Amino acid sequence: MREAGTEETRTKLDAASMVATSRVAYPEARAALARFVVVELSAKVAKLAEDLAERRALRGFDAIHLASAREIARARMLDRPRDGNVLSRRPPRFGEETSA
């Protein structure tokens, strides 16, 4: 997603001899990343990424991200409540231990 001023900012950054930011940028970035779930690039995810890249003409990392998202969705579907009522409890977090 491009925001207004993205190209102008990129041009100025590329031309700059030094780029600086406030120290607040580091904890802000860490806080944002802390919400992410890490999906390991297993052989299964890599194969799915290869197939997606070929079928959808995706770039490599885009295909890996899509394959990872599909793996999370697949894992969540396998962890559905036995009564079939998906609203009977909150959705599991990927990789979270669940009680059977």
Other Cβ atoms closer than 10 A to 100: 4
Helix pair angle (43-56, 60-78), 10° resolution: 120
Other Cβ atoms closer than 10 A to 97: 6
For 32-73, the pLDDT digits (tens) are 888 777 888 999 999 999 999 999 999 999 999 999 999 988
For 9-22, the pLDDT digits (tens) are 999 999 999 999 89
Give me 87's structure tokens: 């609203």
Is residue 33 assigned to a domain?
A: no
Query: Which residue type does 8 have?
Result: E
- Residue 87 confidence (pLDDT): 45
- Residue 76 confidence (pLDDT): 77
- Residue 47 confidence (pLDDT): 96
Is residue 45 assigned to a domain?
A: yes
Q: What is the pTM of this model?
A: 0.53
Total number of domains in the chain: 1
Q: HSE on the CB side for 41, CA within 13 Å? A: 9
Is residue 29 assigned to a domain?
A: no
Question: Reduced to 3 states, what is the DSSP secondary structure of residue 5?
Answer: coil
Is residue 98 assigned to a domain?
A: no
